[in-house]
Amino acid sequence: MTLTRRRFLTGAAALGAAAFGAAACTSPTTANPGRITLWYTSNGLSEQVLGEAVRRFAADKLTPSQVSGELKQRLLAALAGEAYLPDITMLGDDIATYFADTDHFVDLNTLGAAESKPEYLPWKWQAGASPDGFQLGFPVDVGPAALYYRHDLFAQAGLPSEPDDVAAAVPTWDDYFDFGVQAQKKLPGRYLITDTKTVFTYSLAQEPRKYFDRDNHYLDDQSQVRRAWDRAVKAFRLGLTAGYAGSQSQNGESIDRHAAWNSGKELSFVNASWISGELKQSAPATAGKWRVCRAPGGAGNQGGSFLAITKYCPDPHAAFEMVKWLQSPANQPQTYLELGLFPPSPSVYTDPRLLAPEPFFGGQVTMDVFSKTAREVQPVYFSPWDITISDTYTDALTTVESAGKDPEQAWNDARSSVERLLRRQGVLS
């Protein structure tokens, strides 16, 4: 008995040591050595296109790997440990947070990306490049914003209800607010605006500048931010916002908002193209009653992803061929039809598949609205700190909306906490 136990212990210890030793010896830089691994998020790339790509690039062993949960967390961990890295990875619209660390990636310009440039929206292409011209991201999709509204309810209230008429009635945010006040008189207890956060976000998305200039200098004159802020506060004061921001989960889903879509409580909202999937899924009973038109205040973009190649990729040229093929104008329509990811290539906007009337939007050709907006979006510099700063401002707005904080006080507090944050991060001295 003693002997067997000892033998067992020794054996177990040896096994444990072997396991540790093995783990220490095999630490590949890329996730699948000898293959080209592509990390993408759920609903980030068309499965059909990926399937074709795997067959097409069988010689280079393309291995797509859908990352569950946050791709960014996994990528940061892999980059920090310089192990198990993907060869191609998807990056979100926070691509600017990687601009300071481009030494982990391949400059797509060195792989001949410039040839592809004319095929894509210039502002989107530019958004994937760091201020010093390092082309980090290859465009995947964009998120042109539009005004979504309930055609049937607008008509019922005797308001303009055809897309062109609505767009003509609300060219600016102020006109939209006036329109909202009017609509609320006729349709009491309903809302035209989701919350102050969306007013702020989409209003700022229409500005040519946000918080930083392209040299990463903090714009001390925040008049464009203040303008978006004042608009949000105005909408709140007029009683036009529904205040759904607080109940939104981190994915932006809101049970109240979904319910309001179904019940017709939310008459309209400004949002990016990608919300249409959620709208269709959450409010199937309202099919045919929605329309889209140009958003008040002009063209803006919210969201959109990129593909990047890490410098650990043994064959960046092959990887770039894959990226280029996956996101080629020929494959973008499929991605749009399958996932609603809006194509970044203007040439795709005339594809007959995308010009088909949409039953959910009452037979409207929504591509007409979105493509016009996508073309008009102004290039804007998105700094590595933009998301945190935006969150600080929208948090403050939500506090005004939900907790009754004085707007002026909230503005001053938000501004000083932004500056404090930037000082801590060494951006401001």
Contact 311/217 with Cβ under 8 angstroms? Answer: no
Minimum CB–partner distance for residue 245 and another protein (Å): 7
Both tokens of 374, joined, read 């996508």
Closest contact distance (angstroms) between CB of 290 and another protein is: 20
How many helices, marked H, and strands, marked E, lie in the chain? 16, 8
Burial 152-188, CB ≥16 within 10 A → b, else e: bbbeebebbbebeebbebbeebeebbebbeebbeebe
Dist. CA 156–CA 167, nearest whole Å: 18
Stretch that binds another protein, among 60-68, 93-101, 200-208, 232-240 (CB under 8 A): 93-101
CA nearest neighbour of 96 among 317, 310, 388: 388
Question: Which helix (H) or strand (E) covers residue 272, if one does?
Answer: strand 268-272
Q: What is the largest CA-CA distance in the chain?
A: 92
13 is a contact residue toward another protein (CB under 8 A): yes
Q: Which stretch binds another protein (CB under 8 A): 37-45, 333-341, 345-353, 390-398?
A: 390-398
Question: Between 240 and 377, whose beta carbon lies closer to another protein?
Answer: 240
Member of 26, 249, 281, 429 binding another protein (CB under 8 A): 249
Q: Can you tell me which of 25, 221, 403, 429 binds another protein, judged by CB under 8 A?
A: 403
In whole angstroms, the minimum distance from the beta carbon of 4 to another protein comes to 12
Tell which one of 32, 126, 182, 247 touches another protein (CB under 8 A).
247
Is residue 399 a contact residue for another protein (CB under 8 A)? yes
Binding another protein (rule: CB under 8 A), the pick from 209, 265, 280, 375 is 265
By CB under 8 A, is residue 126 in contact with another protein? no
Does residue 141 belong to the site contacting another protein (CB under 8 A)? Answer: no
Among 227, 339, 405, 428, binds another protein (CB under 8 A): 405
Vertex 372: Cα angle to 371 and 378 (nearest 5): 105
Helical packing angle, 223-237 and 196-205, nearest 10°? 150
- What is d(CA 296, CA 270) in angstroms, rounded to the nearest whole number? 8
Could you tell me which stretch among 109-117, 123-131, 134-142, 391-399 binds another protein (CB under 8 A)? 391-399
Those residues with Cβ within 8 angstroms of residue 283's Cβ, 6 or more apart along the chain or in another chain? 258, 261, 262
Which CB atom, from 135 or from 206, has the smaller least distance to another protein? 135
Shortest CB 314 distance to another protein, Å: 21
Q: Where along the sequence are the contacts to another protein (CB under 8 A)?
A: 6, 9-10, 12-13, 16, 20, 70, 73, 76, 79-80, 97-98, 100-101, 104, 243, 245-250, 255-256, 259-260, 263, 265, 384, 387-388, 391, 395, 398-399, 401-403, 405, 417, 420, 424-426
